[in-house]
Amino acid sequence: MSDWSWLKATLPSSCGGLNLRCASLHAPAAFLASCSQAGPLVEQILGLTPSPGILPESVVPPLASAAARSDWRVPCDIDVPLHQRTLSLAIDEATFQQLLVSTPTTRSRALARSSSLPHAGDWLNVMPSTSLGLHLHDREFRCCISYWLGVPLHSIPYSCPECQCSADIFGDHQVGCGGSGDRITRHNSVRDVIFSAAQSAALGPTKEVLGLVASSQTRPADVYLPHWTSGRPAALDIHVISPLQEQLVAVAAFTPGHALQVGVQRKLASNLPSCRSAGIECIPVVVETLGGLAHDTITIVKDICRAISDRGYGIDLHSTTRHLFHSLAISLWRGNSTLWLHRFPTLPPSRDGVV
Ligand SMILES: [Zn+2]
């Protein structure tokens, strides 16, 4: 595992890491926050005059240095009393910038960008539960972690057993390989999570409806909602897209969410005119292979959860929403891992992959 991957692992999952913060990096933040929080009480116990609640000038440079914040120059730049959360977030932010600066390749830069998109890290915060289907098997998890951290899945490139194209060591070909039904299975798995949630919300959803658009055999709705906002029907079209594929990776390295934008535009181009003519709202539900969700995808998930909550099942909106995002995340990553595992090379053990 490279230093770069280790550094990535020390970030919070919301920044593309594994929530394994480096203790030596965050210890000063914990110490200073603790001193700051306990200071008033200590002064009270010792009968001292309470300090005005600002930091001494001398504390700012080492604190700014520890948090790698060049914009902290004077005490008033920093909120007092100090909170470890604030300081650690600043350290995380600085670590993420360090990760971007030290990227060895365009791919790793795109990986860092895409794995820090909203909801990309959801899969790492799921409480594993076999009864709820919120679990990954060991081999699945190892593949996912390798892809997440930029650790090679294989020691050498090989011929993909499903399509005979070149399969790369990081699994980028494999996660988008259309050589068998695995990609469709992943798509359908994500679709079914949305469909089930819409059922729970009593939205009357149907799957893959034919004939929605007159004189057309297209199916613009993976999930069709007959009565969506303002009573209009809506066609949800699910699309999973890899930001690390050859055509997108160069821009994805510098533009966060580039693949999501491409996916949305792709779906709108193919479905919007026909949906509009039929009076149907066209909603692309786009998900990156690293878990990042398009803005409209997040909105529709939250809207469905609100509708579920309104049904009065006794589960609060926050828990319902978190569960749906987690279900989406696990269905996606399980689908990814199936694509990788079904395409493992059949080489001698000495030349087999890392996983
Ligand atoms: Zn293939």
What does the pLDDT look like over 50-99, one tens digit per residue? 666 556 666 677 777 766 777 777 666 666 677 888 888 888 988 999 99
**Residue 168 Cα to ligand 1 middle (Å):** 10
**Residue 180 Cα to ligand 1 middle (Å):** 8
The strand pairing partners of 241, in sequence order, are: 288
Name residues with Cβ closer than 5 Å to ligand 1, which is an ion: 160, 162-163, 165, 177, 179
Contact assessment for residue 206 and residue 224, using Cβ atoms and an 8 Å cutoff:
yes
**Count of CB atoms situated within 10 Å of the CB of 69:** 18
**Residue 335 Cα to ligand 1 middle (Å):** 15
Asked which of 70-74, 157-161, 213-217 is least confident by mean pLDDT, the reply is 213-217
Give the Å distances, CA to CA, from 30 to 11, 85, 114, 199: 16, 9, 29, 46
**So where are the chain's domains?**
3-102, 106-348
Burial of 129 (0-12, 13-18, 19+ CB in 10 A): exposed
**Residue 290 Cα to ligand 1 middle (Å):** 19
**Residue 183 Cα to ligand 1 middle (Å):** 11
Element holding 99 (H helix, E strand): helix 84-101
Contact assessment for residue 299 and residue 285, using Cβ atoms and an 8 Å cutoff:
no
**Residue 343 Cα to ligand 1 middle (Å):** 7
Asked which of 21-35, 125-139, 177-191 is least confident by mean pLDDT, the reply is 21-35
Asked which of 55-64, 178-187, 217-226, 317-326 is least confident by mean pLDDT, the reply is 55-64
